[in-house]
Amino acid sequence: MGNIHDIARIAGVSAATVSRVLNDHPYVSAEKRKAVLDAAEQLHYEKNINAVHLARGKTDIIGVILPFASHPYFGSILSGIASAAEKNGFKLMIAQTNYDVNQEIDALNMLKLKQVDGLIITSRECPIDVVKDYSTFGNVVVCESWSGHQMSSVFVNQYEAFKEALHYFLQKGHAKIGYSVLRMDGKSSTARRKAYEEVFGFVRKDWIFDRALTIEDGTRLAGEWANLDDRPTAMLITNDFVAAGFILECRRLGFTVPGDVSVIGFDNHPISAPLGITTVDLPLHELGKIAFEQAIAAGNRSHQEVPFTIVERESV
Amino acid sequence: MGNIHDIARIAGVSAATVSRVLNDHPYVSAEKRKAVLDAAEQLHYEKNINAVHLARGKTDIIGVILPFASHPYFGSILSGIASAAEKNGFKLMIAQTNYDVNQEIDALNMLKLKQVDGLIITSRECPIDVVKDYSTFGNVVVCESWSGHQMSSVFVNQYEAFKEALHYFLQKGHAKIGYSVLRMDGKSSTARRKAYEEVFGFVRKDWIFDRALTIEDGTRLAGEWANLDDRPTAMLITNDFVAAGFILECRRLGFTVPGDVSVIGFDNHPISAPLGITTVDLPLHELGKIAFEQAIAAGNRSHQEVPFTIVERESV
DNA sequence: GCTTGCTCTGAAATGCGTTTCATACTTTAC
DNA sequence: GTAAAGTATGAAACGCATTTCAGAGCAAGC
């Protein structure tokens, strides 16, 4: 193996010249270039990337914070980020946080430690002000509606999307509408609640369903819904996985969809098509790509909204 | 900010002592420890992790190669790896390869470059012999049946699992069994084909369905199945996502499951429960954890088989 | 003929923390 | 009271590549 100085010695040049050859810098004579390449070959030389990172002061690595790697919502965003990273010669460091603040902080610290050049936060538990303070150490991108000059953001307008879905229900004759969220106090839940109040002038606690993220949650939700004395006739559900669990369990319980209850999901996950779930399409892969671009953007922070569209199927 | 030498100067000690304090080494007097901590505080000191990696010769980072980050099969494994990594204070570097050999090589090179201490290959396109050669640069773990001393492996016995599923079908009275795979020439496909031949003494090309990974593939598969003159009465399907797409499309086409065609999926993905898909449960999260343990294991390589179990539901 | 501007090269500084080695002082141990 | 063991600390080497600066040599421009 050996290092750059060994190569220099064997090739009879300086370490600087070796570095130039290895990095395709101009101004190296053909013969020295060859001598260096031969020596490198002979030594089976491999760069120590840590030395490179140290010397350059950057790593070409972007960190990604996501609560659950196995959930399709985050998986899609991650996939988008990864595609873009690959195209740009960047590597990805991921931190699965489980919405644990300590783990989030731990991941954020990668910025301080110069382990990553930028960081994408797909979702968080940690207060935004804490996150913000890390922006002095590198680009921070949040996947949520946020405006400010310290960080970039890329997001779906949750408020508008939710509102549009509600109006869709209204237009289809529904007046009793319930909805589910992942975390009652989460950012997008607040937007949803606000949209609901905007449209109806009130919210009914028993029509809001909490902790809904997975298919199993959807199944549970169906039971909770069925147990209500006064059931909503329409449900606006966190995502298509939850919607799938909800619909399938409702049917198992003897209800019909959309007969007894109409459903709109979010994400337009592939499962929604064969199940005929009407859903709000969110371009998550694209969102991931944009997040990556923002993460490597030099200097300029930006705020980008990605569009949503309602995909009409048979669950309403 | 500043570095360790600045701290040393301010605290009136040597850099070595600063390093000792920062790494909780013993043999530092209480007063010097305090002086160092105060100076570090004052300077808002943060370590440059790249220098640490360079000096230590390791990074506490494990690389993960996976073809598609957004697919639940790989998502589950990744999630298992990530849990274990977090518990052990390791970070994860991921490379989404799309089964592109160049990207796989690129990821493998992280080992040579000392960017990662070990590497987990959840699935690959690249020849195993090429992969093997990288094992001199760090622990390599493959998630497939492989025996040899260079690398560790953790896997489900695809051959046995497939065989057991076939026998399950046979026992339920099925003699015409088709199956789907992701890649005809993939490692597990070979095992499946072998198992099939073992049981039946032949394989029918038109009963083997290729390129089946996603829900959409399942939908397509249903069409292909329906178009056959001589249709299998049972299908052993790549995974539960494909099975879901297949079953739902079959029903849409007017067939019944398990009336016209029985189905067994793989993975025991949450979607299989509400859809009543009989499936071969694979402990993917656990497999990920084991892969991680192997990746950080000092010296000793191991080969671990994880168990599968058939989960009986209503699709057979 | 002289200046300007390339091309090419190496010494040395830079980025930064860890670890070994040597040294010196204290405590125990017998 | 002396040897052995432990505590405490710093200088210097080590891990390794990049980049700036200075300088030499040579060709083109006027």
Evaluate whether B56 touches B113 at the Cβ level (below 8 Å): no
Do B141 and B207 share a domain, yes or no? no
**Same structural domain, B90 and B126:** yes
Is A95 close to B91, i.e. CB distance below 8 A?
Answer: yes
Q: Say yes or no: A136 and A216 in one domain.
A: no
Tens of pLDDT along B82-126? 999 999 999 999 999 999 999 999 999 999 999 999 999 999 999
B312 in any annotated domain: no
Please indicate, yes or no, whether residues B140 and B108 belong to a single structural domain of this protein. yes
Domain count, chain B: 3
CA A37 to C1' C11 (Å) is: 22
- In a shared domain, residues A69 and A212: no
- Token representation of residue B21: 């304090």
Closest CB from B48, B72, B94 relative to A70: B72
Residues 199-218 of chain B with CB under 8 A from chain A are 214-216, 218
Asked whether residue B299 carries a pLDDT value surpassing 80, the answer given is: no
For residue A188, the model assigns a pLDDT of 84
- Shared domain check, B184 and B230: yes
pLDDT of A152 reads 97
B128, B143, B125: which is closest to B74 by C-alpha? B143
Interchain CB distance below 8 Å, A50 and B271: no
For residue A55, is it within any domain? no
C7 closest protein residue (CA to C1'): A27
Q: How confident is the model at residue B185 (pLDDT cuts 50, 70, 90)?
A: confident
In a domain, A20, yes or no: yes
Choose among A75, A216, A274: nearest Cβ to B215. Answer: A274
- pLDDT at position B57: 94
pLDDT at B59: 97
pLDDT of A2:
86
Nearest nt to A28, CA vs C1'?
C8
| Same domain (yes/no): B195, B265 | yes
Contacts of B223 in chain A (CB under 8 A): none
CATH number for A19: 1.10.260.40
Using the beta-carbon criterion (under 8 Å), do A271 and B113 form an inter-chain contact? no
Q: How far is CA B304 from CA B143, B284, B287, in A?
A: 10, 13, 9
Inform me whether the C-beta atom of residue B159 falls under 8 Å from chain A C-beta atoms: no
Q: Is the pLDDT of residue B277 over 80?
A: yes
Rounded Cα distance between A46 and A30, Å, is: 22
Q: What is the pLDDT of residue A259?
A: 94
What's the Å distance between residue A197 CA and nucleotide D25 C1'?
79
Determine the structural domain holding residue B190 and report its residue range.
158-281
Structural domain includes residue A54:
no
pLDDT of residue A250: 97
B266 neighbors B71 (Cβ within 8 angstroms)? no
Range B246-274 average pLDDT: 97
**pLDDT at A42 (0 to 100):** 93
pLDDT in tens, chain A (316 residues): 789 999 999 999 999 999 999 999 988 999 999 999 999 999 999 999 999 999 999 999 999 999 999 999 999 999 999 999 999 999 999 999 999 999 999 999 999 999 999 999 999 999 999 999 999 999 999 999 999 999 999 999 999 999 999 999 999 999 999 999 999 888 888 899 999 999 999 999 999 999 999 999 999 999 999 999 999 999 999 999 999 999 999 999 999 999 999 999 999 999 999 999 999 999 999 999 999 999 999 878 999 999 999 999 999 9
Residues B274 and B230 occupy one common structural domain: yes
The answer to whether residue A52 sits within a structural domain is no
pLDDT of residue A290: 98
The answer to whether residues A109 and A166 belong to one domain is no
A189 & A243 share domain: yes
Q: Do B94 and A95 touch (CB under 8 A)?
A: no
Residues of chain B in contact with residue A47, where contact means CB-CB under 8 angstroms, are 113
Please check whether residue B142 lies inside any domain of the structure.
yes
- Does residue A314 lie within any of the structural domains? no
- How far is the alpha carbon of A187 from chain B, nearest alpha carbon, in Å? 24
* Residue in chain B lying closest to A77 (CA): B70
Residues B298 and B196 reside in one and the same domain: no
Are residues A264 and A169 both part of a single domain? yes
A316 within some domain: no
Interval B279-290 mean pLDDT: 98
Q: What is the pLDDT of residues A16-37, one digit of tens each?
A: 999 999 999 988 999 999 999 9
CATH number of the domain encompassing residue A266: 3.40.50.2300
